[in-house]
């Protein structure tokens, strides 16, 4: 799939509210040298020592891409990829980080796009829609409120397009 066709397909998914581009990082690295790009936030948490003192530490919740290219003699590009998606969440009134990751090795042609997927999330939420005040009345309130349950399914897809630069370095989009 060409870059233009990929851009058109992603634009169509966004226009239909069926897809969202979260990040479009670009990194530059040399053959067999690891490069990393990360975008996220630092989540503070308290740590207690044996003496009872507490300190504040931070854990990163980020979308990150780590890539190590290996240019083969026939001009193909071997890529060692590690993609991590950390999302802050609340569990028992404590901040936690839900982390999904993909680690793989691929060999592709210069300028070709590889699509990595398989990170799925199913979310269910429950709520109540009601007319203010009337929905809270005893007995007749049921006529003015309804229970709402929604389910959503998400899949994280990562598109990686390595491109060789003539001076011997590799640029990853």
Tens of pLDDT, residue by residue, the chain (173 residues): 567 777 777 778 778 887 787 778 888 899 999 999 998 888 888 888 888 888 888 888 888 999 999 999 998 999 999 998 888 887 887 778 888 888 999 999 998 988 888 777 777 788 889 889 888 888 898 889 998 888 888 888 888 899 988 764 555 55
pLDDT of residue 106: 94
- Output the six-digit token pair for 131: 């007319």
| pLDDT the model gives residue 172 | 54
Distances (CA, A) of 161 to 25, 124, 140: 11, 34, 60
pTM above 0.85? no
Joined tokens for residue 2:
């060409």
Angle at 73 between CA 69 and CA 77, to 5 degrees: 30
pLDDT of 34? 96
Res 58: pLDDT: 86
């Amino acid at each position: 799939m060409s870059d233009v066709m990929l851009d058109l397909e992603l634009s169509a998914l966004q226009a239909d509210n069926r897809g969202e581009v979260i990040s479009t990082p670009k990194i530059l690295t040399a053959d067999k040298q690891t490069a990393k790009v990360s975008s996220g936030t630092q989540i503070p948490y308290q740590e207690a020592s044996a003496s009872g003192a507490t300190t504040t530490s931070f854990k990163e919740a980020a979308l990150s891409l780590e890539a190590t290219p290996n240019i083969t003699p026939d001009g193909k590009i071997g890529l060692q990829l590690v993609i991590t998606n950390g999302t802050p969440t609340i569990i028992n009134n404590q901040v936690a980080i839900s982390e999904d990751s993909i680690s793989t090795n691929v060999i592709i042609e210069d300028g070709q796009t590889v699509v990595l997927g398989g990170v799925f999330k199913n979310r269910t939420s429950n709520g109540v829609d009601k007319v203010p005040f009337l929905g809270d009345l005893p007995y007749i309130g049921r006529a003015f409120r309804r229970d709402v349950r929604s389910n959503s399914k998400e899949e994280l897809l990562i598109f990686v397009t390595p491109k060789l630069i003539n001076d011997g370095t590799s640029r990853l989009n």
